[in-house]
Every structure is written in C-alpha cells, then in structure tokens.
Amino acid sequence: MGTADQGEAAAMWTGSRKTVGAVMAAGAVVAATGCSVLPGPGGTSEATKGASVSASPSSSPSAAPEQPLSARQLKSLLLREGDVPQVESTTEQGPVPRYDPRVLVPGPGCQEVFDALVSHHASTSVIQDFWWRNKQWGGRTWLAAYAGDGASKEFRRLAEGLKTCKTLVGKTPEGRLNSRIDVAKAPGLGDEAVAFDLSMDGPDGTVLSDHHIWVRVGTLTVEFSDRGAERTPGFPLDAVAARQLDRLTRDVRD
C-alpha cells in the first residue's frame, strides 16, 4: 500500500485481501474490507449521475420488480472528498466480493450478525475509506443494495442476532475471528438502525474497540465504522453518518 500506516490499516481491517474481511481477525481490530488491493489515497470514484434510491420495496403486486442498484450507482451515492473536512482523502472499492466459501460463525444469532457485517446477502456493495493526514486510516462506510425486501430482512436478522450473540468467534482466511459485542442505544437514523461496539484485547493489554452504526434506507443498507484509535480530533463518525444519510435520503426524494 505504500506506507506503514496503510499497511497497519490493512492488517487491522483485513485490507489488501482477495475476498471480504470482517470484524476481528489476526488479533487486530477489523471491520471488513474488499478487493485484492486498496486504492491509494485520493482514489476517484467511477461515479455516475442520476442514480436513484427506492424508499421502500414496491408493494404493488402488479408492479415490475425493481432492480437493485449496481456498484457503479452505489459509488455515485458516496460522499465526495471535501464533504468531511477533517479527512485528507478517500478511497473506494467495489463491487466487494463475498466470502466463498461462506465463513461460518457459531453461537446463537452470531452467523446473522457476521453476515450483515460483510453484506453477505446483498446484491452488491461498495466501501469508502477515509484517510487522515500522513495516510492514516480513520473510518469506513459500507453501502449495500438489496433486491426486493432483502434490506429489511437483513436488518431484522441483524437486530435479532444482536439480542443473543455476545462474541464473534471463528476463523476467516485472514486469521482468527474473536470480538466481543456490546450493543449501544439505537440512533434515530434512516428507516431503522442499530449501533454496537466490537472490541478485543490488544497485544499490550489495551482494549481495541470499533464503533458501528448500521442503518437501513429503503432497499439500501449502510454501515459506518471507525477504528476507535485515540486521535485528536477523533474520527467524526456521527458527522459522516449524518452527511451520508442526508445524501441518500435526498436522492430518495428526488
């Protein structure tokens, strides 16, 4: 990736790999990534104009099924460089590949939580990474499109899974999966939303923690996550979520 910190980000978020990464792998904090190589800072989007978002799956039995958005259309809905002043640059990936074979995670509700984190049931998905000065990785947005009522079903699976799954344990191609789940108060965002922290013990005895906000907007889902690193100022996760959701809902109205 060209810099030590980008290499650290790749390790901590299972970056620079051939399939999707997730959550806690190889003894480091992760929140999933995609594609074989992360583009460098300042990477540009393949954005196309005019992508629209369905506010909800069609309820008319005679209506033709609406096609889920493509990866190119999803990229056109992501934030632009400059939308988050604290961030030096952004990079995009997509379409994000699925785990094949599927990573199995034991425990009540844990498979459902893990699948939602890696957009396993989505039609397609894209990732946007936010970089600080000196190529330090700060946070991520993962935007996914679903067919029909797939997004609302995914949300229900995740919400139910979070009630019973306390720890994600397993093995991914990147390494060991081992993270604790702490559910936070659900924010009033989108059509429905949940929030939770993923944490693990670091090699020096410190607790490494990432905050996640998972939101459904019509037939789309979007997950916001940060690395939980101690920085001044900290990554503006709430501001990124607010601006991204404003962009999505604006396109719904348009």
What DSSP string describes the chain? Answer: --SHHHHHHHHHTT-S-SS---SEETTEE-----SSSPPPTTPPP---TT----SS----TTSPPPPPPPHHHHHHTSPPTTSSTT-SEEEEE-SPPPPSSPPP--STTHHHHHHHHTTTT-SEEEEEEEE-GGG-EEEEEEEEE-STTHHHHHHHHHHHHHHH--EEEEEETTEEEEEEEEEEPPP--SSEEEEEEEEEE-TTSPEEEEEEEEEEETTEEEEEEE-----SSPP-HHHHHHHHHHHHHHHHH-
As a whole number of Å, the end-to-end CA separation of the chain is 38
More confident residue, 237 or 18: 237
Task: Flag whether pLDDT at 4 surpasses 70.
Answer: no
pLDDT at residue 35, as a whole number = 31
pTM of the predicted model over 0.85: no
Task: Flag whether pLDDT at 83 surpasses 60.
Answer: yes
Q: What is the pLDDT of residues 35-74, one digit of tens each?
A: 322 322 233 333 323 333 333 443 344 455 689 999 999 9
pLDDT above 70: percentage of residues in the chain = 70
Task: Flag whether pLDDT at 230 surpasses 80.
Answer: no
pLDDT at residue 82, as a whole number = 82
